[in-house]
A = this chain, B = another copy of it.
């Protein structure tokens, strides 16, 4: 940790600070004097002193951490890629996984029709929301337990693994009885109670980035899960909130190679939520593959015009088929050692 002091800080203030640091078992590397500012380098395990404690000192202008705040999810501790495996799927390790399905489970025929189509097209995992966190209390909130049962039925029929969102710590156990993968949504990325609870589950966790979360905050959210013992975490970039409003969010495509550098966890892109417009989903799914993602999650609906939620961003079956063709061609061009998408 580097501590930059204000110009003209008193000897007494600096003395208090030095005592504080040494009391916590760190040593002062050396005092470097630049033009008008004093700078202190700390030696030792910097996590022993929370950064805010140092910033609270009157004489301190700024504190710069040298170590990253996340540990378990970082590449430094584990250089090799994590591969998350389950019922017929593997995410990470060089392949490219396609997770697809409707935003929300709406009926038996809807989810079955989708699941059969997606299985035939080569998708790896079926998505479908049973509990829907919505901005308005008056919007459709999901079929809940009945939706979970329909997902399980679709799995029986097709063999596809299923992923669905869990919105509260209270529900982790119940949802885990049905789902192969537990999704934690954007709105809950910093719901620490929920993160801890899924960290105690034996189900893989699919963690979506909060819409205004920095990459560091995103990785710290994943750290909450892994710190509880569940190492099977996938990171999902799904767009961040910016001033641009032609699209629902702004897909942060650079997050893909960056997260792959910083962390060993697999990185999946959701171009459906990132844009909110189905005409942009296919080009951005292919771009995600080109940028190095381990997979995509897309919304597909047999009849988007009658979808109960997210119709405008749901692919038609025809568009999904087109996307799979492009993905196969680009995967072969960039990752020729792989046998299939």
A residues with a Cβ closer than 8 A to B are 1-2, 4, 7, 16, 20, 29-30, 32-37, 39, 41-47, 50, 52-53, 55-58, 64, 66-67, 69-70, 76, 133-141, 167-170, 187-188, 190-194, 211-212, 214-217, 220, 223-224, 227, 240-247, 250-258, 261, 274-275, 279-280, 283-284, 286-292, 304-312, 314, 326, 329-330, 332-334
Contact = CB atoms under 8 A, between A and B. Distances in A.
Contacts of A136: 69-70, 220, 223
Contact of A220 (B2, B7, B135, B216): B135
Contact of A287 (B253, B308, B332): B253
A304 to B, nearest CB: 5
Contacts of A187: 190-191
A52 B310 contact: yes
Nearest to A171: B193
Nearest to A47: B138
Given A36-B76, A193-B168, A140 B253 contact: no
Contact of A66 (B34, B56, B255): B34
A253 B256 contact: no
A245 B243 CA distance: 8
B2 A214 contact: no
A97 to B, nearest CB: 17
A39 B66 contact: yes
> Considering the complex of A and B, which 6 residue pairs feature the smallest CB-CB distances, nearest first?
A56-B311, A212-B212, A29-B32, A32-B41, A290-B290, A187-B190
6 contacts: A20-B305, A30-B30, A32-B42, A34-B44, A53-B306, A53-B308
Contact of A135 (B139, B217, B279, B305): B217
B34 A42 contact: yes
Contacts of A326: 334
A257 B240 contact: no
Contact of A314 (B29, B34, B56, B289): B56
A155 to B, nearest CB: 26
A16 to B, nearest CB: 8
